[in-house]
Chain A
């Protein structure tokens, strides 16, 4: 276990930066490298920063040169942020993953790959079981662009691990993360003056606290298991209750008008919701986390309700 050499893609993201800082402090980790075009969000003194675009074929030269045994793939864009087209998002997600895997072929020391994927691959469906298990990824058709991206990424990693018995490839399927300092679709949604909801729907939402999100990656690095593993805080929360705990008011909109109203709101400066997020707001989604506990050996500390309450408390204190 000691003397691990880890490379993190997307080290400029919030989770990527915190993960690098945590691995730097870990006595079992001797070397950390971070790949991104964006600088890390927190100061990292021991991490070797590789300033390269994951879509660029030259990472096929840069990554093998590091001699790492573990790669944490964190550069997956969950929603197009400001100034990013959905085309660019697709490129980073799919082409980036392809380039990364091409580079992996040349890393002879590689033993472990951990991917921070998304539970979005299950979709959000009215007929869905309340808690998806890992083997239910293809229960429903893939409906959104992001879902198709994630499914494609998962396929690439599956094919890769079939060809490489010596490499354990863990696909972590994350529910949306929430926590202090986090800027994600869910925190942006809860920071608006009013939160648009689908009239008459109160879906079950499941989130993961940022601390648990990090610890789950570290646990998977220590104890990699092949295949997909769900990551989420225990329990679920109703959307209506989540909005009330955040101290906000819901703005119920009849389902057929939802898209039109929120895009008008976008022009007025409100946040816009991606297709995935809209489906989540209508139908919700929960996942079963027994595999994370039993096989990876990590049990999240913060329930979904705790995570929301903690975040809401901090947001109120800041306001």
Chain B
């Protein structure tokens, strides 16, 4: 939007308010001066103010996700300069379990995996991702995460989403991944008890391992203050070069360079749902997925070169 249209928008808005219109009507009137795209956005925001929008039973709101896309697009293109490989390996239809390494206390990596699929996949669709449950006790963050497709990290949620033939992203490292110190970056933590494999077996969903390089440099965790974390109910209280020294600015992630590689899907349907109770098989597949991601991480680290330039 250039400066001229902005000014004429404000002028019409003023005129509308002066002539006694309520704010929403005045904005609609002012929007007539905007170019088509911006006008659509304004109208959509007004509809939302009347409750005229839809969310699914999980709280995912596709309209909202599209409204905030420019912000994530900026992070994707300019801030982290994400390079993607193998997006076409993600099945275009049906249930799929994306399994990725995880770092950073906010689920930025999940949002970038989303962007990668929306940008690079021939048949894009929004993945749903499992987010550490303590985020759902935080104001605004809890509401925002749900609107863009996040759900509480619970096996029951993953099962139900897969039964609904969704594309689901999980981070089996969990809090051990987000809380690892900078010196251990890209060294995968234990994959829980292999719960994600059980879920894949039970639903027959293929597992697609995903290696994300770059996310582990955005919040270099140098130290931790456990008493403060306990006080806030958070899993840990990170000390990074910018947090908490710079206050809210410390939450701004560092602009590292990213690579996301989607690996070959691992098929699970042929084992049958009962195989989910087979401990040996579950641990074996879990180790295999972990190994493949670890291998791809090292390969992509080399291909990426320096972390920030």
Is B142 a contact partner of A241 (Cβ separation < 8 A)? no
CB neighbours (8 Å) of B57 from chain A are 130-131, 204, 234-236, 286
* B190 beta carbon closer than 8 Å to chain A: no
A237–B154 alpha-carbon span in the complex (Å) = 20
Q: Which B residues fall within an 8 A CB radius of A?
A: 49-51, 53, 55-59, 133-134, 136-143, 146-147, 151-152, 154, 156-157, 160
Q: Given A127-B133, A129-B157, A130-B157, does the pair A201, B58 have CB atoms closer than 8 Å?
A: no
Is B143 a contact partner of A130 (Cβ separation < 8 A)? no
Q: Within the complex, which residue of A126, A236, A240 is in contact with B136, where a contact is CB–CB below 8 Å?
A: A126
Is B152 a contact partner of A255 (Cβ separation < 8 A)? no
Is A131 a contact partner of B139 (Cβ separation < 8 A)? no
A236: shortest Cβ distance to chain B, in Å?
5
CB neighbours (8 Å) of A234 from chain B are 57
A283–B135 alpha-carbon span in the complex (Å) = 12
* A199 beta carbon closer than 8 Å to chain B: yes
CB neighbours (8 Å) of B138 from chain A are 200
B303: shortest Cβ distance to chain A, in Å?
38
Q: 28 A-B contacts, Cβ less than 8 Å apart?
A: A126-B134, A127-B134, A127-B154, A129-B156, A130-B151, A130-B156, A130-B157, A130-B160, A131-B157, A136-B156, A198-B139, A199-B139, A200-B140, A200-B141, A200-B142, A200-B143, A202-B142, A202-B146, A236-B57, A236-B58, A237-B55, A238-B59, A241-B51, A242-B51, A244-B49, A245-B51, A254-B139, A286-B57
CB neighbours (8 Å) of B142 from chain A are 126, 200-202
Interface centre among A198, A202, A242, A283 (most CB of B within 10 A): A202
Q: Which A residues fall within an 8 A CB radius of B?
A: 126-131, 133, 136, 198-202, 204, 234-238, 240-245, 254-255, 283, 286, 288
- Mostly, the A contact residues are loop
Is B50 a contact partner of A130 (Cβ separation < 8 A)? no
A255–B142 alpha-carbon span in the complex (Å) = 14
> Lowest 10 CB-CB distances: which A-B pairs, in order?
A200-B139, A244-B51, A127-B133, A129-B156, A202-B143, A126-B137, A200-B140, A129-B154, A126-B136, A245-B51
B54: shortest Cβ distance to chain A, in Å?
8
Name the CB-closest residue of B to A241.
B51
A238–B59 alpha-carbon span in the complex (Å) = 7
A233: shortest Cβ distance to chain B, in Å?
11
Is A201 a contact partner of B143 (Cβ separation < 8 A)? yes
CB neighbours (8 Å) of A126 from chain B are 133-134, 136-137, 142, 152
A221–B109 alpha-carbon span in the complex (Å) = 51
Name the CB-closest residue of B to A246.
B51
CB neighbours (8 Å) of A133 from chain B are 156
A283–B138 alpha-carbon span in the complex (Å) = 10
CB neighbours (8 Å) of B151 from chain A are 130
Is A127 a contact partner of B152 (Cβ separation < 8 A)? yes
A240–B190 alpha-carbon span in the complex (Å) = 39
Q: Within the complex, which residue of B56, B137, B146, B152 is in contact with A129, where a contact is CB–CB below 8 Å?
A: B152
B140: shortest Cβ distance to chain A, in Å?
4
CB neighbours (8 Å) of A243 from chain B are 51
CB neighbours (8 Å) of A238 from chain B are 55, 59
Name the CB-closest residue of B to A282.
B137
Name the CB-closest residue of B to A303.
B57
Q: Given A130-B151, A204-B57, does the pair A255, B139 have CB atoms closer than 8 Å?
A: yes
Is A244 a contact partner of B50 (Cβ separation < 8 A)? yes
Q: Given A201-B142, A201-B143, A244-B50, does the pair A236, B59 have CB atoms closer than 8 Å?
A: yes
Is A130 a contact partner of B139 (Cβ separation < 8 A)? no
A237–B134 alpha-carbon span in the complex (Å) = 22
A236–B154 alpha-carbon span in the complex (Å) = 18
CB neighbours (8 Å) of A286 from chain B are 57
CB neighbours (8 Å) of B58 from chain A are 130, 204, 236
Name the CB-closest residue of A to B136.
A126
A204: shortest Cβ distance to chain B, in Å?
5
A199–B140 alpha-carbon span in the complex (Å) = 8
Name the CB-closest residue of B to A204.
B59
A202–B53 alpha-carbon span in the complex (Å) = 14
A288–B164 alpha-carbon span in the complex (Å) = 13
A198–B142 alpha-carbon span in the complex (Å) = 12
Name the CB-closest residue of A to B151.
A130
B176: shortest Cβ distance to chain A, in Å?
17
A2: shortest Cβ distance to chain B, in Å?
39
B219: shortest Cβ distance to chain A, in Å?
22
Q: Given A127-B133, A129-B157, A131-B160, does the pair A241, B55 have CB atoms closer than 8 Å?
A: yes
CB neighbours (8 Å) of B56 from chain A are 235
A283–B156 alpha-carbon span in the complex (Å) = 17
CB neighbours (8 Å) of B157 from chain A are 129-131
